[in-house]
Amino acid sequence: MGVYAWLWALNRPADAEPPQHPDWFAVNAAGKSCHRQENRPFVSYYQFLCPNREEVRHHLLREVRRLAAIPGISGIQADYIRMPDATLPRHLWDYYGLDMSTPSPKYDYCYCAVCLDKFRRLYGRCPLAAPAEDKEWLDFRLNSVADFYNMLAEETRNHHLRSACAVFPTPTLAAEMVRQDWGRFHTDLALPMVYHSFYDEDDAWAVDITRRAALETDGRIPLAPGLHLPDIPPDELAARLNDFLTTGCHGIALYSDAEITAEHLRVLQQWMAEQRYRIRQDARHNR
């Protein structure tokens, strides 16, 4: 058993510091920054910061050090290691009244001066006018997010703690949707949020996509797929957990603590007791 501190990394709505530095915020292809509420995509808590700003990097390293000083924690779990959604999961298009089948500059980040300048110095040119066709520009931004995570993870491990991250279902999907190619992350544990209802899919999809994530990362990243509890009736929970065990995953995450019911907890405790019994029996047989 262990407790991980929860770190909102590139989206920091509860942090008083960033609003004092308007230039810390991520900027979209239309030149609008997440600093001003009226320019934020989808929801007002989308207050994403730029992964390439030195001041942002130092600020988040300070946050890691602050969390690492909490006595008794085993690690830090980073969340929101990504850009705003260039594409939302299919189910949410209707919710926001959007058709996201073609990319829009409104939802494509980060085009701030620092990112554009860094890209220009590396590649000797500006991003193409049609960013969807600019593989180097996409690659640059995927690396920017991955490098940001890897910096935080390294600092976490310097404090002898484990670094985990909550991510979108597979590196390919995550890169496309939120510029989060987590196959590039040096992480001790990835928690892919395989929320099937968000994608208009069924629970078999969640198991399949977990297998795909393991394949895409050649099994080198320990996975703990994250299940969305409101989609799982308590009497189906044990079967769902058993399905996920067949993927070879390292653990299973249940989101969120506010949505777990007394009945879910009862089923979970019974299931865990059965697993402990099975592990003991297996150990006895293998002796």
What residue ranges bind Zn ion (CB under 5 A)? 50, 52, 110, 112, 115
For the CB of residue 141, give the shortest distance to Zn ion in the complex, in Å.
Answer: 9
**Under 8 Å between Cβ of 246 and 210:** no
Pick 10 or 229: Cβ nearer Zn ion: 10
**Under 8 Å between Cβ of 11 and 45:** yes
Give the separation between CA 106 and CA 150, rounded to whole angstroms. 27
Tally Cβ neighbours within 10 Å of residue 258. 6
For the CB of residue 112, give the shortest distance to Zn ion in the complex, in Å.
Answer: 3
What is the enclosing helix (H) or strand (E) of 71? none
Give the separation between CA 193 and CA 257, rounded to whole angstroms. 15
Give the separation between CA 59 and CA 18, rounded to whole angstroms. 9
Pick 36 or 280: Cβ nearer Zn ion: 36
Pick 27 or 67: Cβ nearer Zn ion: 27
Pick 50 or 214: Cβ nearer Zn ion: 50
Give the separation between CA 12 and CA 40, rounded to whole angstroms. 13
What is the enclosing helix (H) or strand (E) of 184? none
For the CB of residue 83, give the shortest distance to Zn ion in the complex, in Å.
Answer: 9
For the CB of residue 116, give the shortest distance to Zn ion in the complex, in Å.
Answer: 8
For the CB of residue 49, give the shortest distance to Zn ion in the complex, in Å.
Answer: 9
Q: Are strands 162-167 and 75-79 parallel, antiparallel or unpaired?
A: parallel
Pick 112 or 165: Cβ nearer Zn ion: 112
